[in-house]
Structure 1
């Protein structure tokens, strides 16, 4: 077996999951670092209007890039299951067909996103004083969709076979390149938000190339020309796993766009404050995403190996680790959050103070309920690893209903701060459905094994 992969069907579950998640977590730190540097450099060098311009496209970016992330995550479930079952022929064919489907979908998403970017910004009531900068930013980032899709597919394949180290190194490389180019393009060349977008695309290109080069050297997934040939039912199985996750991401993003529409109506200062906290959102959830990837791989491999008792033990350990991690992050944010937020804002002292008040209020509320988000990721990932992408998709609909309902109704009752409850209620509704469904699914799986 290659040293670059990890068999998660043997060994202590909690230890395996934590060791697998740690490199992913460090990789997410690097990814969030260069996302935050984008915002810090733009906010400090260009000003509050530019910060609001980035915030106005937050959910649009999530919508478009979430398609790539969702489809590749779905494909990796089958790859993990084949790996756990020691089915090398099926593994290579699944990987090859995943690459083909990802390339096709990336081209479609690129064309549609570029065509609809301007219309969507106008539809979302984006403030006139920032819409031009927002459009320039997304057009450049969307040019990198094929690169992002390539990275997501390569990284998902690596994670599915137990390699979380390579995506970490890729993110470290990307973070270093992005930080350097941000300072050069935005602070040095004065290219504004466009420079920040270009820096991001170039950095992502390097991370995609690195993952691809490593993947080519791993025997278990070295695909040949014959692996790309027709295989009855394979593309359908892959799409059946990937499409619900894409739909889940899209419906969540649409709910976020409704929130963005409401936020945009409160003016650019509120948008700027909302944006500052949303840039920390990545820091808040970075460990949960890592645990989620670890759980998908762990559950997928153990399902392939037909070890349901081991699955339950691993998911229980993951929930405990996730709760402790969320509590630590929450305490740090409650204590230091306002100081961190101040790094994103500069300009008129009175405006800066208003933006920070808005941002910290939002951050405080999310920090108090962060544990809910972490449970959401653990149980959603466990279901996906079991091959159930339908319930996670329905959970996305629940998030949409809660997020949209709260954002449209609560501000009318308690004022604009009511918008801050939308995210928390979305987490709560989805987490309740996912955890209940997971325990029901496990009882069903264990009864099937006994019979």
Structure 2
């Protein structure tokens, strides 16, 4: 695979908003598709070679890894927003300072978390009520994944920051490289094909570890070979020793952002615990459903990333009129794209599910029922993501956190627990659209009426234009699209 010509990002503060958002989101969507396709292919190998018990084990382990990512991922998102705003102001040195600080914080944090996760993996799996027959498999898989956490997080950080600088194409190429290596090595290491050792489920995790290390090293070499804007040279290497203001900004904004992921992760862990109590077949069905849900949420995540990058650059440039229109375009595009994907998944769910499970498995019927009740919630999820992406681009991180806490716990988990004695397992599946409805409604209310426009990421007010617009009582131009 050969990367395209020299890419130095793009200015997201000019041109057609809808076209720019689509063009920017498409490579991000492609990278997300590749990443999720890689996970699905790996799940197919695990399910086919090792059976339903191994499939249940990877479902439990993957939710835990999402929890671990959340502990350090917020720093990367905070740095990405700082980079985007700096690029919008045409301040390349500030962008490099933010990138250097983020690298130090994310790599350092992931090393600590990876070590602690490896040590306490058995306790974590027991807290999750992992089924007994899946426990040894989940432990072997999870411990290898923890070893690869620093490389995984650095790869994600570098890709995210490149998008913040306006370059969505380079991350696509190197995600493709990681997918090729991971998908190719999985069956070889699981089953011991040729000269490779037979490692079972640990082989799947080892393939991921190798792929991420190769991809992050190759991406770093590519950044320097093409002399891309965020590379550090000479005296700029000192930016890897973050200064006090940047540390306070990245940590102060990054912790609430990371906490949002933790809220979603712990909610997922709670739900996984409830599902595990329904037996291995339902756990396997839920695992397959989660594989399909990764594709359902991909358009929302790609569009949200595009909205965040565009909003951050335009906020840095003081183009608040464009920020409002970016949000409206993001909502409209998300509804159209995610709605189409939901329809396709519902139409063709059974053929896809037989890739993961035998056609006669009773788990397929359970998984199809889950899809029917829950999958449409991702349209609302995507709308909430757009609102969150916009307000976070100006440093508003506490309100989205509070919204997610309410939507995930009193609403989603509360409904599942309260209604399970009444309607049985369906209470778990109905809780997803109910939680997304609450999240979307509250996110819209904060976007429309909250004071997020007067905030700042870096502790120095960048947007006197924002206060001017507010004083003039300007209504968000994008809201007509959002509610139509």
Query: Where on the TM-score scale, by shorter chain, does this alignment land: which range?
Result: over 0.9
Q: Which residue of 2 aligns with 1:205?
A: 213
Structure 1 residue 400 displacement after superposition: 2.7
Contact 1:249–1:396 (CA<8 Å) still a contact in 2?
A: no
Q: Which moved more, 1:125-134 or 1:409-418?
A: 409-418
Q: What is the alpha-carbon root mean square deviation over aligned residues? A: 1.9
Q: Deviations over 1:324-370 (max 9, x none)?
A: 001110110111011101110138x3xx0x20011111112233332
What is the CA–CA distance in structure 2 between the aligned matches of 1:272 and 1:374, rounded to whole Å? Answer: 26
Q: Which residue of 1 aligns with 2:143?
A: 139
Matched, 1:440 2:459: no
Matched, 1:174 2:182: no
Structure 1 residue 408 displacement after superposition: 1.9
> 1:390-401, aligned counterparts within 5 Å?
390-401=398-409
The one of 412, 420, 424 equivalent to 2:421 is: 412
Structure 1 residue 162 displacement after superposition: 0.4
Structure 1 residue 219 displacement after superposition: 4.5
> 1:51-200, aligned counterparts within 5 Å?
51-189=55-193, 190-200=198-208
Contact 2:403–2:443 (CA<8 Å) still a contact in 1?
A: yes
The one of 301, 305, 314 equivalent to 2:326 is: 314
Q: Which residue of 2 aligns with 1:367?
A: 375
1:6 alignment partner, SS class? coil
Higher helix share: 1
What is the CA–CA distance in structure 1 between the aligned matches of 2:215 and 2:419, rounded to whole Å? Answer: 42
Q: Deviations over 1:193-220 (max 9, x none)?
A: 2111111121222222233223334453
How has the CA–CA distance of structure 1 residues 159 and 230 changed in structure 2, closer, same or farther, with 3 Å as cutoff?
closer
Consecutive unaligned residues of structure 1, counting only runs of 5 or more, are none
1:191 alignment partner, SS class? coil
Q: Which moved more, 1:125-134 or 1:410-419?
A: 410-419
Matched, 1:425 2:425: no
What is the CA–CA distance in structure 2 between the aligned matches of 1:290 and 1:444, rounded to whole Å? Answer: 23
Contact 2:300–2:385 (CA<8 Å) still a contact in 1?
A: yes
What is the CA–CA distance in structure 1 between the aligned matches of 2:164 and 2:433, rounded to whole Å? Answer: 30
What is the CA–CA distance in structure 1 between the aligned matches of 2:223 and 2:103, rounded to whole Å? Answer: 12
Contact 1:43–1:346 (CA<8 Å) still a contact in 2?
A: no
Q: TM-score, normalised by structure 2?
A: 0.88
Q: Which moved more, 1:391-400 or 1:377-386?
A: 391-400
What is the CA–CA distance in structure 2 between the aligned matches of 1:114 and 1:175, rounded to whole Å? Answer: 24
The one of 267, 270, 273 equivalent to 2:279 is: 267
Consecutive unaligned residues of structure 2, counting only runs of 5 or more, are 1-5, 455-464, 472-484
How has the CA–CA distance of structure 1 residues 279 and 449 changed in structure 2, closer, same or farther, with 3 Å as cutoff?
same
What is the CA–CA distance in structure 2 between the aligned matches of 1:144 and 1:230, rounded to whole Å? Answer: 24
Contact 2:320–2:466 (CA<8 Å) still a contact in 1?
A: no
What is the CA–CA distance in structure 2 between the aligned matches of 1:254 and 1:165, rounded to whole Å? Answer: 32
Contact 1:395–1:434 (CA<8 Å) still a contact in 2?
A: yes
1:344 alignment partner, SS class? coil
Q: Which residue of 2 aligns with 1:16?
A: 20
Structure 1 residue 442 displacement after superposition: 7.5
1:321 alignment partner, SS class? helix
How has the CA–CA distance of structure 1 residues 374 and 230 changed in structure 2, closer, same or farther, with 3 Å as cutoff?
closer
What is the CA–CA distance in structure 2 between the aligned matches of 1:357 and 1:305, rounded to whole Å? Answer: 52
1:129 alignment partner, SS class? helix
Structure 1 residue 386 displacement after superposition: 1.9
What is the CA–CA distance in structure 1 between the aligned matches of 2:263 and 2:18, rounded to whole Å? Answer: 32
What is the CA–CA distance in structure 2 between the aligned matches of 1:365 and 1:58, rounded to whole Å? Answer: 23
How has the CA–CA distance of structure 1 residues 389 and 443 changed in structure 2, closer, same or farther, with 3 Å as cutoff?
closer
2:23 alignment partner, SS class? helix
2:348 alignment partner, SS class? helix
How has the CA–CA distance of structure 1 residues 15 and 127 changed in structure 2, closer, same or farther, with 3 Å as cutoff?
same
Structure 1 residue 161 displacement after superposition: 0.3
Structure 1 residue 188 displacement after superposition: 4.3
Q: Deviations over 1:154-204 (max 9, x none)?
A: 112101100111110111111111111112122444532211111112122
Matched, 1:291 2:295: no
